[in-house]
């Protein structure tokens, strides 16, 4: 491969093997099984976080208003 061919391939010129460029990874990553498994675990974790009130490990403290003094 001479320098001109190497520069053309490196800078997105016509590919020597005739294949199309794949494009940026962020546009094609949703085709990966790893992406969907990671997304599933992410949404599962968010759901558990919301359902358990933020992974609260101690009982919720409920503040009650003081009882009003009886009127005479």
> Which ranges constitute the DSSP H helices of the chain?
3-10, 25-28, 33-51
- Say what the pLDDT of residue 65 is: 76
pTM (whole model) above 0.85: no
- The model's pLDDT over 9-64, given as tens digits with 9 standing for 90+, comes to 665 555 555 566 677 877 788 888 999 999 999 999 999 888 887 766 666 677 78
Domain boundaries of the chain, sorted by first residue? 24-53
Tokens of 62: 């409920």
């Amino acid at each position: 491969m001479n320098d001109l061919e190497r520069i053309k391939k490196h800078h997105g010129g016509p590919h020597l093997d005739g294949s199309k460029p794949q494009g940026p990874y962020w546009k094609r990553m949703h085709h990966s099984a790893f992406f969907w498994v990671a997304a599933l675990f992410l949404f599962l974790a968010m759901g558990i976080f919301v359902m358990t009130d933020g992974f609260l490990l101690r009982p919720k403290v409920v503040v009650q208003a003081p009882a009003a003094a009886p009127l005479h």
